[in-house]
Structure 1
Amino acid sequence: MFSRRTGALFLVSAVLFGGTFVAAKAGLAHLPPLFFVAVRFDIGAVVLAAYAATSLSRAELRPRTVGDVVGILATGLLVIGLTNALLFVGQQYTTSGVAAVVFSLNPILTPVFAALLLSEDRLSVRGSAGMVVGLLGVGLVADPDPSALLGGGIAIPLLFCGAATSALGAVVIRRAEATMSSTARTVWGVPLAAVLSHALSLSAGESVPGLSMPPIALAALLYVGVFSGAIAYLTYFALVDEAGATRANLLFYFVPVVSAIGGWAVLGETLPVASLVGFGVIFTGFLIVSGPPVALPASIRRALRERIARGRL
């Protein structure tokens, strides 16, 4: 179950990450994907450095254990850097609806890695059922073209690898048992993600001289740099520490909801009835996973016990 604090972290992370799909759609029309990601984290690194200089001591920022180093590397290279590189490149070749559905496999993949690497983060049968219900809701919200979702091409493998990388990284962070705070790990991780993204951009031969930066591209870049590149990761990694990787990554079911509403409000996209139904289905799946246990009425429990005692059940 989510406490008031974890609920707030969940909501902020979902809203800020959901805006990423809207901003990415606007920015990718003007910027190469890997360079877009790299500059995004350049901005995020500057914002976090300023925050750390005023809010964190050197002792809080200093890695002390192997777990701290592993946590920093998993944060910067896996969850932030490689995940976003795969997401932005893959989103070039398909619709945002398909990208949302594939990337929303993250909550399904997280328990798989948790089962291999953790002992306390496994889901019950009820939790697994909630995951499936949530994924069905994502499909209704995103409403992807089946031919695009099932067809070939490079987009689906890239997006799937991005979802898997994000899920694996979150579980590795949990397993590392770092002594550093999630905030300190993020301060280190975002610059690592920027370096990785610049290296990938250079190796891919992306051309950046003479790029035009219309106001919409600049606004998209500032959004993904400050809000979903710095603030969102601070709240997300705090959520992973408090709720565990499996439950924290349920927020990726709500990302398409925010993206759909943002696309309607900012980009003038339609919001069909199926999407509104999907919102309710996603929320139902979330309640199944994280809601309080449902107890059978006393009369039913008594009748079941009597049947078991008589050997009829």
Structure 2
Amino acid sequence: MVAKRTLALALITAVLFGGTFVAAKAGLAYFPPLLFVALRFDVAAVALAAFAVATHSRDQLRPRTRGDLAGILATGVFAIGLANALLFVGQQYATSAVGAIVFGLNPILTPVLAAGLLADERLSRRGVVGLALGLVGVALVVDPDPATLFAGGVGKLLLFAGALSGALGSVLIRRADGTLSSTARTAWGLPFGAALCHLLSLSAGESVAAVTWSQEALLALGYVGLLAGAVAYITYFELLDVAGAVRANLVFYVTPAVATLGGWALLGESISALTVAGFLTIFAGFAVLGSASIDVRALLERAAPSRPVGTKVPDRPNDDADRSAFEHAGD
């Protein structure tokens, strides 16, 4: 059974990450992509650092082991920095629907990487079926146009590399097995992600002068920095610690659905019957994954009617002795 706390972390993470697609679509009209990501991490790093200092002691914030350092670097460089940089740049060369389905490969890539790098996270055959159903559901939700799905190879390679970076980062964090809490580890990792994206932005020739400052730009930056940044990273990396890399990254199956609903509610976008079918397919995938941890035989045994202690009921009392024992059982 899934703990209520774990389910709450998953829902919060999925909703906040799903809203990122809506806010990013609005923000990219005012910011260069890499600079947008870098500024997002600047805001998130300051907010999360203040939260970590207020809720943790110095000893709790101090990295102590090689695992702590490895977890911080995996968080900042792979799970946060490269994943988001590649996502925002690749999105320029592909539609949002294609971007969502390519980045939705994260839950498929994670168990593949975990199988080679983690000894305690393996999927059963039923789990593989659940993952496949989730991927089909994502495809139905975003409804990519076949005419554009295979076009724009550069953008799709960047998006795939972003999904791979995010999956690799989550697996490396679990492999590091550090002593820091998820909040402390993320607070240390965000500045590395911000620094990496600023360097990439400078190397790409982006400039702050290219930013068009407006109320909409500030709202978009505030959302991706504070809500989809600081808050969502706290819940996501805590979910990673309690649920594991494979199950934690299942939230990326839900984010396209959240983004679609957000577009419908905030931008007036329509939801087709195919999208509803996608939602149901994603739900079916989660149901299959959840059933993988249920002992069906034990449930059937518990549901069977109980008999008095000592009662013996043979299947077929073929001879007189067996028939007599059957008739007088329990006397």
CA distance in 1, matches of 2:218, 2:273: 33
Paired position in structure 2 for 1:280 = 280
CA distance in 2, matches of 1:23, 1:66: 37
Paired position in structure 2 for 1:293 = 294
Paired position in structure 1 for 2:224 = 224
Note closer, same or farther for the CA distance 1:290–1:201 as it changes in structure 2 (3 Å cut): same
Paired position in structure 2 for 1:158 = 158
Asked if the contact 2:93/2:152 (under 8 Å) is kept, the reply is no
Give the paired residue count.
Answer: 299
Asked if the contact 1:110/1:246 (under 8 Å) is kept, the reply is yes
Asked if the contact 1:104/1:253 (under 8 Å) is kept, the reply is yes
For residue 208 of structure 1, report the CA deviation from its aligned partner.
2.5
Give the secondary-structure state (helix, strand or coil) at the position aligned to 1:138.
helix
Q: Quick one: which amino acid aligns to residue 223 of structure 2?
A: Y
Asked if the contact 2:32/2:210 (under 8 Å) is kept, the reply is no
Paired position in structure 2 for 1:301 = none
Paired position in structure 1 for 2:79 = 79
Paired position in structure 2 for 1:172 = 172
Q: Quick one: which amino acid aligns to residue 245 of structure 1?
A: A
Deviation sequence 1:130-156 (CA, Å, 0-9, x none) = 000000000110011112222243110
Asked if the contact 1:28/1:92 (under 8 Å) is kept, the reply is no
Asked if the contact 1:2/1:243 (under 8 Å) is kept, the reply is no
CA distance in 2, matches of 1:94, 1:214: 26
Alignment of 1:190-269 (within 5 A): 190-209=190-209, 211-269=211-269
Paired position in structure 1 for 2:65 = 65
Paired position in structure 2 for 1:185 = 185
Paired position in structure 1 for 2:89 = 89
Q: Quick one: which amino acid aligns to residue 204 of structure 1?
A: A
Note closer, same or farther for the CA distance 1:210–1:117 as it changes in structure 2 (3 Å cut): closer
Q: Quick one: which amino acid aligns to residue 119 of structure 2?
A: S
CA distance in 2, matches of 1:294, 1:130: 17
Paired position in structure 1 for 2:320 = none
For residue 214 of structure 1, report the CA deviation from its aligned partner.
2.2
Superposed CA RMSD in Å reads 1.4
Q: Quick one: which amino acid aligns to residue 219 of structure 2?
A: A
CA distance in 2, matches of 1:180, 1:94: 38
Q: Quick one: which amino acid aligns to residue 45 of structure 2?
A: A
Deviation sequence 1:217-252 (CA, Å, 0-9, x none) = 211110000001111011000001101000000110
For residue 211 of structure 1, report the CA deviation from its aligned partner.
2.4
Asked if the contact 2:32/2:211 (under 8 Å) is kept, the reply is no
Asked if the contact 1:186/1:234 (under 8 Å) is kept, the reply is yes
Asked if the contact 2:90/2:154 (under 8 Å) is kept, the reply is yes
> Structure 2: which 5+ runs fail to align?
302-314, 316-331
> Structure 1: which 5+ runs fail to align?
299-305, 307-313
Q: Quick one: which amino acid aligns to residue 82 of structure 1?
A: L
Normalised by the length of structure 1, the TM-score is: 0.93
Alignment of 1:133-144 (within 5 A): 133-144=133-144
Normalised by the length of structure 2, the TM-score is: 0.88
Paired position in structure 1 for 2:146 = 146
CA distance in 2, matches of 1:185, 1:53: 12
Deviation sequence 1:238-281 (CA, Å, 0-9, x none) = 00110100000011000001000011111221211111111111
Paired position in structure 1 for 2:117 = 117
Q: Quick one: which amino acid aligns to residue 295 of structure 1?
A: V
Q: Quick one: which amino acid aligns to residue 187 of structure 2?
A: V
Paired position in structure 1 for 2:108 = 108
For residue 210 of structure 1, report the CA deviation from its aligned partner.
5.1
CA distance in 2, matches of 1:53, 1:71: 19
Paired position in structure 2 for 1:42 = 42
Paired position in structure 2 for 1:4 = 4
Q: Percent of counterpart pairs with the same letter?
A: 59
CA distance in 2, matches of 1:222, 1:197: 18
Q: Quick one: which amino acid aligns to residue 168 of structure 2?
A: L
CA distance in 1, matches of 2:295, 2:22: 38
For residue 294 of structure 1, report the CA deviation from its aligned partner.
6.3
Deviation sequence 1:35-57 (CA, Å, 0-9, x none) = 00000010001101211221111
